[in-house]
Structure 1
Amino acid sequence: MQKQRVSQVFVPGGMPKLTYVERTQGEIREKLESAKDNLCKLVTLTGQTKSGKTVLTQMIFPFTDPNVIWVDGGSITAENDIWEQVLDRLDVYPNEEVNTSDTASTVVSGKANVSASILIAKGGGELGVSQNDGSTKGKKSARNITSKNAAIKALAESQASLIIDDFHYLDRDMQGSFVRAVKPLVFHGVPVVLIAIPHRRYDAIKVEREITGRLENIMMPYWSVDELKQIATIGFPLLNVNVSSAVVDILASEALGSPHLMQEFCKSLCADYSIKETSEKEIKISKVDDSLFKNVAESTGKVVFDKLATGPRQRSDRLMRLLKSGERVDIYKVVLYALSKMKPGMQTIQYEELRSAIRDIVAETPPQAHEVTRVLEKMSEIASNEEASTPVIDWEREEQKLHITDPFFAFYLKWRAH
């Protein structure tokens, strides 16, 4: 049996080459691959956070392929940042040299990175003009063109694929402006793929309006328990580890539809049994301790939980409320502790359900309705400002609904140390 390292078999948050699971009979993959074949449509891939969207896209558009440009939406503060990254990846600078002559025999020589026809050269390039009519009537002029125009030209000439990950990070106006800019590229078959979370930050309607009739939207469905189990059933045999089906069932059911969490559980289970690489002798595992889930929870969700519990700022005058547990906490922790009691998973929570959970944990008069909604609004605001690809919670005031949008945060609510 070939030796494998655990770190190569189970890769939470990375590219799992050995435990990659082909889902839904490859339909999603086929749709993504069609973008390469002169599809002439803007492709959007949407699905829950940490559901494997980036991993799947990298299988088709490898990050290491020189003809594929990956842009991380989280690194973009202005639209020009996108075009600068495109130019950098294509090794092009936004300047243009135009050579003219009044003779028919003009030779343009030099080095251009994309195409001599558009004469975009890095660092000014080396461009010259020579004539053979015996006179020197040639003229060379240079002008700067915008990064945006240079990048669009370079993409058109190179036919490089452009992938924007975490597209929902861009503000809504920037999303619309970007889509308008790439319409001509899409029309001419240049592959453009936007990866996003179906959240209100991502204005799908605006994107569709900007490119009516030329949009191919691919939905990444939730991972089923059976699909998550495949990560374990593929990976553990590579390490000569026999994990009981009961344990695999528990791991998959706790993963909340997230392959990232499932990879984390499998790797942690190996660590609990001091497995670092393929074992000479078969190792049998027939139980999993709750401490595994608690440890994973502490390492994945505690930071944002604590930030939400702190609230917008530390204040000494917040009313402390007595809980049935004997602890005294302010209203921010009351709300979070109530959520923790509910163990909602990735479900949407109705406001009255949350109010009921709050009444169950407080020993005194529960906070009033307007106090709870104010806290939910503040928490949603804090979550939106966090350096994460999407807020972990989202309060929809009009509908009186609270959405738990991050599986790591949902997992922490269930398994945090009380």
Structure 2
Amino acid sequence: MCKLQSSDIFKPGTFPEYTYISRLSSELNYSYEIRLQQALNTSGYLTSIIGPSKTGKTVLCEKVIGQDKIVSLTGNDFKNSNDFWSVVAKRAEIALEGEQTEMDTYESHNQINNTIRRSVTFKEKYLSSKEAIINYFKGNNLVLVLDDFHYAPTELQFDIAYQLKDAIRKEFKVVIISLPHRADDAIRKNPDLSGRLSLINIEPWQTHELREIAITGFNKLNIDISDAFAERLAVESLTSPQLMQSICLSLSTIQNIDLDSNIKSIEDESIIDNSCKFNALNLNYKDVIKKLKEGPSTRGQQRKTYEIMNGQKVDIYSFILRAIAENPPIISIHLEELKNRVDKLINSTVNRIDKNKIRDSLGKLQDIVNDSEPIYQVFEWKDNQIYVLDPLFLFYLRWGKY
């Protein structure tokens, strides 16, 4: 048997065979795997999974359903088409349009009464129907997994819900995945689907759960790490198992642990900082941060600047982003906590930033996010709370160069 490499163990973008961690749902103290299996076994029900970004919702589906039995779509797949079944058929590689050829043979007689056999070929075009698609899925034991449902146009979300209402009654299996705070109202608050939903709320990963990824993975590589080391990795992973996988892989790469057989343990926590900076090089959020730092148009007026503790002068929007990135790294920050962070950063006891100024500025940043493409929709400001929707954005904000 070949020695396992770090890339075999830590898999940020695919199914992590060796470091898959099963978690218990606190709602019922059953594993999410059992809950999803029960949902799929319930005929005539649609499964709705809601959870923070990069928390393993898709990996959960792959574990329970099997990668070869999933037909995967995202809300973005419906940006340029309002025909739900056409999009599904195309992804499942079911022919939307084709030709059926039939040959008919008949006999005729010529003037001297000889019998002549003639053949005529008929070509008829056909279009794959909704029923044919449903039967194809059932016959092949496939499950439609519709990820990032909130990215589908709002009016189309309700049409999709209408289409699925009838389909699930015919035992068409569907799992719809969405983010919290952008909850799929077209599904969960749809009266037509009331009583026909299996609801699974994925909770953010706890540090002890994330630690298991690092401990399990490095044990597979015959390398010891301390609990404190694993804890620090977990904190920087920002509730995201995908991010934990990525940081561990970066750490393994820069430490050259696949080739250096002398490495039996890793203890120096400064390596984690280097791994985070190294990992941030692969992330593409520079333009997102640039757009947010620019804020709304000033129409030629100069913005007021504030001096932070290192002597640098920044405006309110750069200040807010800097405060969001401060320790401790958390993905949900209340206005009061953000104000405390701002107060600690500002190099002045007189020129404080008023809480209302912070609140108004966050509202303007939210307007920019709402009017931008999906890649810019990295957080949501709602009810005096900032919800970081994309942990990778916060990670880059902390460790990237911009």
The TM-score with structure 2 as length reference comes to: 0.81
| Residue ranges of structure 2 left out of the alignment (5+ in a row) | 108-117
Could you report, residue by residue, the CA deviation over 1:214-252 in whole angstroms, capped at 9, with x for unpaired residues? 000111122122221221222112222222332112212
Verify the 8 A CA contact 1:175 1:207 in the aligned structure 2. Answer: no
Verify the 8 A CA contact 2:307 2:313 in the aligned structure 1. Answer: yes
Corresponding residue SS for 2:265? strand
Distance 1:269 1:128, change over 3 A: same
**What is the letter of the counterpart of residue 288 of structure 1?**
E
**2:334: which partner in 1?**
349
Instruction: Trace 1:71-220 onto structure 2 (pairs within 5 A).
Output: 71-80=73-82, 82-94=84-96, 123-127=98-102, 150-159=129-138, 160-200=142-182, 202-203=184-185, 207-220=189-202
**1:283: which partner in 2?**
264
* Residue 331, structure 1, aligned to residue 335, structure 2: no
* Residue 222, structure 1, aligned to residue 222, structure 2: no
Match of 1:407 among 380, 391, 394: 391
Output the CA distance in 2 between the equivalents of 1:38 and 1:129: 47
**What is the letter of the counterpart of residue 196 of structure 1?**
S
**What is the letter of the counterpart of residue 12 of structure 1?**
P
Verify the 8 A CA contact 1:240 1:280 in the aligned structure 2. Answer: no
Verify the 8 A CA contact 1:43 1:216 in the aligned structure 2. Answer: yes
Aligned residues: 380
Verify the 8 A CA contact 1:74 1:389 in the aligned structure 2. Answer: no
The TM-score with structure 1 as length reference comes to: 0.78
| Residue ranges of structure 1 left out of the alignment (5+ in a row) | 96-122
**1:377: which partner in 2?**
363
Verify the 8 A CA contact 1:229 1:252 in the aligned structure 2. Answer: yes
**2:14: which partner in 1?**
14
Distance 1:129 1:180, change over 3 A: farther
Output the CA distance in 2 between the equivalents of 1:183 and 1:90: 20
Output the CA distance in 1 between the equivalents of 2:46 and 2:136: 18
Distance 1:181 1:349, change over 3 A: same
Q: Percent identity?
A: 29
Verify the 8 A CA contact 2:90 2:96 in the aligned structure 1. Answer: no
Q: Give the alignment's Cα RMSD to 1 decimal.
A: 3.5
Corresponding residue SS for 1:44? strand
Name whichever of 378-387 and 251-260 sits farther off.
378-387
**1:4: which partner in 2?**
4
Distance 1:189 1:320, change over 3 A: same
Corresponding residue SS for 1:74? helix
Distance 1:31 1:276, change over 3 A: same
Distance 1:390 1:317, change over 3 A: closer
Verify the 8 A CA contact 2:380 2:388 in the aligned structure 1. Answer: yes
**1:296: which partner in 2?**
279
Distance 1:387 1:20, change over 3 A: farther
- Give the deviation of 1:264 after TM superposition: 1.7
Distance 1:339 1:37, change over 3 A: closer
Could you report, residue by residue, the CA deviation over 1:97-149 in whole angstroms, capped at 9, with x for unpaired residues? xxxxxxxxxxxxxxxxxxxxxxxxxx2233456799xxx9x99896766x7xx
**What is the letter of the counterpart of residue 310 of structure 1?**
E
**What is the letter of the counterpart of residue 354 of structure 1?**
L
Could you report, residue by residue, the CA deviation over 1:334-378 in whole angstroms, capped at 9, with x for unpaired residues? 22223334645112312x443454444164745566654443223
- Give the deviation of 1:260 after TM superposition: 1.1
* Residue 49, structure 1, aligned to residue 53, structure 2: yes
Distance 1:203 1:127, change over 3 A: farther
Distance 1:16 1:316, change over 3 A: farther
- Give the deviation of 1:272 after TM superposition: 2.8
Distance 1:91 1:126, change over 3 A: farther
Output the CA distance in 2 between the equivalents of 1:190 and 1:81: 17
Match of 1:311 among 295, 301, 304: 295
Output the CA distance in 1 between the equivalents of 2:177 and 2:159: 17
Could you report, residue by residue, the CA deviation over 1:131-186 in whole angstroms, capped at 9, with x for unpaired residues? 99xxx9x99896766x7xx2453223541321111112113322221011011221
**What is the letter of the counterpart of residue 135 of structure 2?**
A
**What is the letter of the counterpart of residue 156 of structure 1?**
N
- Give the deviation of 1:194 after TM superposition: 0.5
Could you report, residue by residue, the CA deviation over 1:256-275 in whole angstroms, capped at 9, with x for unpaired residues? 21101211221122123112
Output the CA distance in 1 between the equivalents of 2:16 and 2:46: 27
